[in-house]
Amino acid sequence: MKRLIYTTFVWAALLLGGCVTGNGTDKQYDTIGKSIWEAVRLDLNRIHDILELVVKAEYILTLESEEQREEFIFNQFSGSEVSIDDRHIIIKSPTTYDTYYTTTILTNGATIREAGEWQVVRTGGWGYTLTLRSTNKGIEAIFSDIRHRESRGNASLLLDYDYSGLGSAICLMYSGQLVMIDDDASKDKPLTLTATITAPITYYNTEGMTDGSMEIECYDELYDNRDVVGVDILSEPYRVALSYDIWEDEYNYDRI
């Protein structure tokens, strides 16, 4: 009888444990790390585009002859209409939807480096307002009202750049903070990405980001999730090292 009880007991235990019919899913640390980084990377790329345009616009002002300006505009603003007067540069550029967006640069008459104070506003499609000011710490670049699809935000950067005209790469070096609010999932409880640059980012328009570090905090009010992702941009070979919680990885990303 004892044997009967034992075997029945083992049999019942096996039954109650059930058969494993699927192994479940893996923990997706990489999804969290990469998704947050990719979202910030796209926002930074828009900032790079804006700053590249400003650097080129400033370079136009340093060219003395009309021929040089026309040649530069022909090469660098192909397809766009550029009009320049004493204090304004207006660039009208086509979009892929047969419409135009307009970038208006209001200067104080000086280049940015030489005690300049510029305001750059883009309207049509996505937009932003950028104020550039030369200070004794460097050039302040204050982005306000960045709007792109369901994202809005602002950035406060300390900027330096290097550009010597046609044939040379534009190099941007900056540090500071970018805050983007994404209300795609919920208008009342948005997701906020705060990227704090902990080591200055170096960006070349020919290569993308080549150096720098940042810490990205992502707070999602809708689900009450708070995540912090560490980002190190590394060169030779170009790659990015991400870290999140117990997960870390290096991978090659689409830098430009």
Partner 1 sequence: MKPLRHILFLLLPMLSIYSLNAQQYNTVQNTYVYTVDEVAKQADIDTEISTEAIRNSIRWRHNIRIGYALPSLLSGLLLIDFGDEDATTGQHPYDPTLSDQLNDAHYYKGKQRMLSNLTAEYNYTFKPWLSFGAKLSYAGIWQSTRHISNDKVVSYDGRHIIGVIANVRFDWLRRRYIQLYSSIGLGVISIINPDNTTVLPLPDATYLGLSAGNKLYGYLEFGGGISGSLRVGLGYRF
Q: Which is nearer to partner 1, 137 or 149 (CB)?
A: 149
Do 94 and 40 meet the contact criterion of CB atoms below 8 Å apart? no
Angle at 23 between CA 21 and CA 29, to 5 degrees: 155
Interactions with partner 1, residue window 35-54 (CB under 8 A): 35-36, 39
**Minimum gap (Å) between residue 44 Cβ and partner 1:** 16
Query: CA-CA distances (angstroms) from residue 252 to 30, 123, 214, 239?
Result: 14, 34, 17, 4
Cα separation, 143 vs 235, in Å, equals 28
- Note whether 18 binds partner 1 by CB under 8 A: yes
Stretch that binds partner 1, among 6-14, 51-59, 64-72, 129-137 (CB under 8 A): 6-14
In order of 142, 145, 149, 188, 254, the CA distances from 126 in angstroms are 17, 10, 7, 21, 22
Choosing from 58, 152, 176, 182, the residue that interacts with partner 1 (CB under 8 A) is 182
Backbone angles phi, psi at 68, to 5 degrees: -60, -40
Question: Rounded to the nearest 5°, which phi and psi values hold at 165?
Answer: 95, -170
Nearest distance from residue 134's CB to partner 1, in Å? Answer: 36
**Which position among 52, 140, 215, 227 is part of the footprint of partner 1 (CB under 8 A)?**
227
* C-beta neighbour count of 159 within 10 angstroms: 20
Q: Does 245 bind partner 1 (CB under 8 A)?
A: yes
Of the two residues 2 and 137, which places its CB atom closer to partner 1 in the complex?
Answer: 2
Count of residues binding partner 1 (CB under 8 A)? 40
Among 87, 184, 199, 235, binds partner 1 (CB under 8 A): 184
Of residues 141 and 216, the one with the C-beta less far from partner 1 = 216
Residue 108 neighbours by CB under 8 Å, 6+ apart: 87, 116, 117, 118
Q: What is the DSSP letter of 98?
A: S
Under the binding rule (CB under 8 A), the answer on residue 26 touching partner 1 is yes
- Binding positions for partner 1, 68-127, rule CB under 8 A: none
54, 62, 72 from 67: Cα distances, Å: 20, 13, 9
Q: Is the CB of 43 or the CB of 58 nearer to partner 1?
A: 43
**Which span (21-29, 72-80, 93-101, 108-116) binds partner 1, by CB under 8 A?**
21-29
**Which segment (22-30, 86-94, 136-144, 204-212) binds partner 1 by CB under 8 A?**
22-30
Per CB under 8 A, residues contacting partner 1 are 1, 3-4, 7-8, 10-11, 14-29, 31-32, 35-36, 39, 182, 184-186, 191, 218, 220, 222-223, 225, 227, 245
